[in-house]
Amino acid sequence: MRNFYAFLFVLINIYSYGQRHTVTIVDGYIGGSFLAGDTVHVWAREMASDETFSHWEGDVDVLEFPSEWYNAFIMPDHDVRLEAHFVKLPGQYELEYIQCAQSKKKVYHFMPKNPKGLVFLFHGTQGSADGWIRNPSNFQMFKDLMVAGYAVIVTEAEEVTLGEDTNMDGKIRWVTTSGQQFNNIDIRNIATLIDTFVTRGNIKEDIKKYAIGMSNGAAFSVTCSFGLSFDAAVPYCSSGNIVYINKTQTPTLWCMQENDDHPKVGIKGYNDARMFSDVLNQRGICSAVYLNNQTPIYPQLFARAEGISVSKSQKIFEELKSSGFMEFKNGYYYMKIFADSIFTLVKANPRDYPQIVSLASDMIKLLSVRSLMDVTHAGHKFFSFHNKRTLAFLSDPCSYISASEQVEEPLQDAITVRPNPVSDRLWLEMVENYTFPRIISIYNSQGVLIKNVTVYDSNTELNITGWPRGVYYLKVAGKTAKFIVQ
Domain shared by 275 and 326, yes or no: no
Residues 207 and 327 in one domain: no
Q: What is the mean pLDDT of residues 70-97?
A: 96
* 397 plus 408 within the same structural domain: no
Taking 60 as the threshold, does the pLDDT of residue 235 lie above it?
yes
Report the alpha-carbon distance of residue 418 to residue 482 in Å, rounded.
Answer: 11
Indicate if 112 and 248 belong to the same structural domain: yes
410 and 391 assigned to the same domain? no
Which residues have C-beta within 8 Å of that of residue 341, sequence separation ≥ 6? none
Of 59, 88, 117, which residue sits at a domain end? 88
pLDDT of residue 35: 92
Domain count, the chain: 4
pLDDT value of residue 61: 87
At 32 the pLDDT is 94
Confidence band of 434 (pLDDT split at 50, 70, 90): low
Query: What is the CA angle 79-80-84, rounded to 5?
Result: 160
- The CATH number covering residue 18 comes to 2.60.40
Pair 413, 355 in one domain: no
Q: What is the mean pLDDT of residues 124-144?
A: 97
| Structure confidence at residue 332 (pLDDT) | 96
Q: Which of 60, 88, 116 is the last residue of a domain?
A: 88
Domain at 250, CATH number:
3.40.50.1820
The verdict on 341 and 475 lying in the same domain is no
**Same domain, residue pair 180 and 51:** no
Q: Please indicate, yes or no, whether residues 268 and 316 belong to a single structural domain of this protein.
A: no
| Residue 154 · residue 95 · CB < 8 Å | no
Q: Are residues 113 and 257 in the same domain?
A: yes
Output the pLDDT for position 134: 96
Please give the Cα distance from 128 to 161 (Å, whole number): 9
Q: Among 88, 103, 122, give the residue marking a domain's end.
A: 88
Instruction: Out of 4-18, 88-102, 203-217, pick the least confident.
Output: 4-18
DSSP symbol at 216? H
Share of the chain above pLDDT 90, in %: 68
- On whether both 395 and 409 belong to a single domain, the answer is no
Query: What's the chain's average pLDDT?
Result: 89
Q: Residue 131's pLDDT is what?
A: 97
Q: Specify whether 250 is located in the same domain as 384.
A: yes
Question: Could you tell me the residue range of the domain that residue 481 belongs to?
Answer: 404-485
Sign of CA dihedral 272, 273, 277, 278: negative
* DSSP assigned state of 377: T
Q: What confidence category does residue 445 fall into, taking pLDDT thresholds of 50, 70 and 90?
A: low
Q: Is the pLDDT of residue 450 over 80?
A: no
Least confident of 375-389, 428-442, 462-476: 428-442
